Amino acid sequence: MPAAADAVFTADFPAASADGVRRADVVLVGAGIMGATLGTLLKQLQPDLTIRVLERLDKVALESSAADNNAGTGHGANCELNYTPLQADGSVSVAKAIAINTAFERSLEFWSSLVAQGLLPDPRTFITPVPHISFVRGAADVAYLKQRHSQLGKLPAFAAMAFSEDPAVLASWMPLVMAGRDPAEPVAATRLIRGTDVDFGRLSEALFKALSCAPGVALCLGHQLEDLRQRPDGSWDLQVRRRRDGVLLPMAARFVFLGAGGGTLPLLQKSGIAAAKGYGGFPVSGQWLVCTNPVLVALHRAKVYGKAALGAPPMSVPHLDARCIDDQPSLLFGPFAGFSSRFLKQGSLLDLPRSIRPDNLGAMLSVGIRHADLLRYLIGQLAQSDGDRHRTLRTFMPTADPADWRLETAGQRVQIIKTLPGQGGQLQLGTEVVTAADGSLAALLGASPGASTAVVAMLELLQCCWASAMASAPWQQRLRQLMPSHGIDLDRDAEALARSRSRSDQLLRLR
């Protein structure tokens, strides 16, 4: 990847017009997994597009997509209990789990196709098979997990899920979690072997490396989008600042994608599109306890998810993860929440106050009142000592020695606050695509399970903003080549799911 930001920026640009403006068909703002996915899809579907990627930092994937800034779980809803909430009638809602599982299957299928084309490297550089386990304690939660297993186990996507309350079986699945545990305490777990740990940082790097080699594409590192305005013809004027020397470079694009993680909301607000009205954001930072003791790391080859504490938000679901970051095998436990008014890890303390506007102030205040439990949770997290965090760890790993663990700061997440007609402000825990009415601009807001569902999120974006092209025979044919299950409901078609998994099992080295 070229090191000279200016050379990258000017490489492969058409000659500047008389007004000095550099033009492109598509500008992608933010060099993370979302921009990498959208750029790759567009180049696969329409190779003659000119694409410019703007990234304010000097490397790709340094914010939300970086391995040490996220949990790395390939979110297939195998173990994340917050995706299957208990209902008042005693049943478990599985709709969200099904949708997320299907979305991740699409991602696996897409990545498999890119590996086959030679556009992605050896899958071992970015994806590792790791069993996904849900673990609960106490009679009530054991009953819940049994009900969850009963309902999910009837679906083809989760048919291989195993359930056990036998301590000996559980000890074979997760020895560190069971060692030293009170034998009288009711416990249960489910396990799916077909889980993954994904290094979305390395995956993003690989996608951008391939994308930047394609004709008509330039990766512009060290360049920050400062402002954007729509022209009468629907195209966009962009003011881009080269951070090295502060020079402003005017650009123009027919389509703009704002995929800058926490930096997306301020840019969306500057766009002035009607759909941006009423959106706000609440930043939450994260911390992990990290262990690199090789003896312990070798004993825990799983991602074990529990249940959030009573009154805690879904984002606080505790998990003990086997990870490999920068080729260093490790264990991560958390997350522990923190607070910073920054929208990006390398952002400004003024990000939050600058985002408050008359159209979202009411929504943000109403969310603050309605979600007092979240504020109490954050205050409690901020007040935690090292001893408090290690006591929480011991609920998962009773024999944990504080000497084996260190505290590290993860990335920033900006939770969506959305104004809904007649309902005031709502806290949205997920990802959401916001588009201009004419389809000339799109933005991705929110957090988990974003990276894992990037392919489906970007296909939905294309359906909104590139509807005519998406309906065309050439694009549909190409999509079926990239993802043979495209257009098929994998939840209802067990044979199609089996075919899709047969292809992606090669990516996961399961066959």
What CA–CA distance (Å, rounded) separates 181 from 441? 53
pLDDT at residue 312, rounded to an integer: 62
What CA–CA distance (Å, rounded) separates 510 from 419? 45
Nearest Cα residue to 484 out of 105, 47, 101, 194:
105
Write the DSSP string, 105-142: HHHHHHHHHHHHHTSS--GGGTEEE--EEEEEESHHHH
Confidence of residue 310 (pLDDT cuts 50, 70, 90): low
Confidence of residue 5 (pLDDT cuts 50, 70, 90): very low
More confident residue, 411 or 217: 217
pLDDT at residue 2, rounded to an integer: 32
> Alpha helix locations (H) across 46-199?
95-117, 139-152, 167-173, 175-178
pLDDT at residue 16, rounded to an integer: 54
Highest mean pLDDT among 70-84, 177-191, 495-509: 177-191
Confidence of residue 14 (pLDDT cuts 50, 70, 90): very low
Going by their DSSP bridges, the two strands 217-221 and 51-55 should be labelled as: parallel
* pLDDT higher than threshold 80 for residue 189: yes
Nearest Cα residue to 395 out of 313, 293, 319, 291:
319
What CA–CA distance (Å, rounded) separates 384 from 73? 26
Percentage of residues of the chain with pLDDT beyond 70: 94
Contact call for residues 258 and 382 (beta carbons, < 8 A)? no
Q: Tell me if residue 419 falls in helix, strand or coil.
A: strand
pLDDT mean across residues, the chain: 89
* pLDDT higher than threshold 90 for residue 222: yes
**pLDDT tens digits, one per residue of 394-410:** 999 999 999 999 999 88
* pLDDT higher than threshold 60 for residue 418: yes
Write the DSSP string, 309-359: PTT--GGG--EEEEEEETTEEEEEEEEEEE--S-SSTTS-TTHHHHH--HH
Burial 149-178 (b: 16+ CB within 10 A, else e): bebbeebbbbeebebbeeeeebeebbbbbb
pLDDT at residue 6, rounded to an integer: 36
Confidence of residue 12 (pLDDT cuts 50, 70, 90): very low
Q: Report the sign of the C-alpha dihedral through residues 316, 322, 323, 328, in that order.
A: positive
pLDDT at residue 193, rounded to an integer: 95
pLDDT at residue 134, rounded to an integer: 98
pLDDT at residue 315, rounded to an integer: 63
Q: Tell me if residue 62 falls in helix, strand or coil.
A: coil
**pLDDT tens digits, one per residue of 133-186:** 999 999 999 999 999 999 999 999 999 999 999 999 999 999 999 999 999 999
Q: Give the C-alpha distances (Å, rounded to integers) separating 143 from 97, 170, 178, 262, 426.
A: 19, 16, 19, 38, 31
* pLDDT higher than threshold 90 for residue 430: no
Mean predicted confidence (pLDDT) in 405-420: 87
Percentage of residues of the chain with pLDDT beyond 90: 68
**pLDDT tens digits, one per residue of 260-271:** 988 999 999 999
Q: Which amino acid is at 386?
A: D
pLDDT at residue 11, rounded to an integer: 39
Which of 158-162, 234-238, 321-325 has the least mean pLDDT?
Answer: 321-325
Highest mean pLDDT among 8-17, 44-53, 323-332, 345-354: 44-53
**123 upstream amide cis, omega within 30 of 0:** no
Torsion of CA 356, 359, 362, 363, to 10 degrees: -80
Question: Phi then psi for 366, rounded to 5 degrees?
Answer: -70, -35
Confidence of residue 79 (pLDDT cuts 50, 70, 90): very high
Q: Tell me if residue 3 falls in helix, strand or coil.
A: coil
pLDDT at residue 324, rounded to an integer: 87
* pLDDT higher than threshold 70 for residue 424: yes
pLDDT at residue 311, rounded to an integer: 57
Confidence of residue 20 (pLDDT cuts 50, 70, 90): low
H or E segment at 457?
helix 454-465
Question: Phi then psi for 38, rounded to 5 degrees?
Answer: -65, -45
- This model's pTM is above 0.75: yes
* pLDDT higher than threshold 90 for residue 195: yes
| Structure-token match 């505790």, residue found | 318
Mean predicted confidence (pLDDT) in 302-313: 80
Listed in sequence order, the residues at least 6 apart from 298 whose beta carbon sits closer than 8 Å to its beta carbon are none
Contact call for residues 136 and 142 (beta carbons, < 8 A)? yes
**pLDDT tens digits, one per residue of 278-298:** 999 888 888 899 999 999 999
What CA–CA distance (Å, rounded) separates 161 from 159? 6
More confident residue, 104 or 372: 104
**pLDDT tens digits, one per residue of 435-461:** 999 999 999 998 767 889 999 999 999
C-beta neighbour count of 46 within 10 angstroms: 17
Mean predicted confidence (pLDDT) in 111-140: 95
pLDDT at residue 19, rounded to an integer: 62
pLDDT at residue 395, rounded to an integer: 92
Mean predicted confidence (pLDDT) in 308-328: 79
Contact call for residues 280 and 369 (beta carbons, < 8 A)? no
CA angle (179, 184, 186) in 5-degree steps: 85
pLDDT at residue 313, rounded to an integer: 61
Which of 157-166, 459-468, 501-510 has the least mean pLDDT?
Answer: 501-510
Q: Which amino acid is at 460?
A: E
* pLDDT higher than threshold 70 for residue 17: no
Listed in sequence order, the residues at least 6 apart from 194 whose beta carbon sits closer than 8 Å to its beta carbon are 76, 78, 129, 160, 501, 508, 510
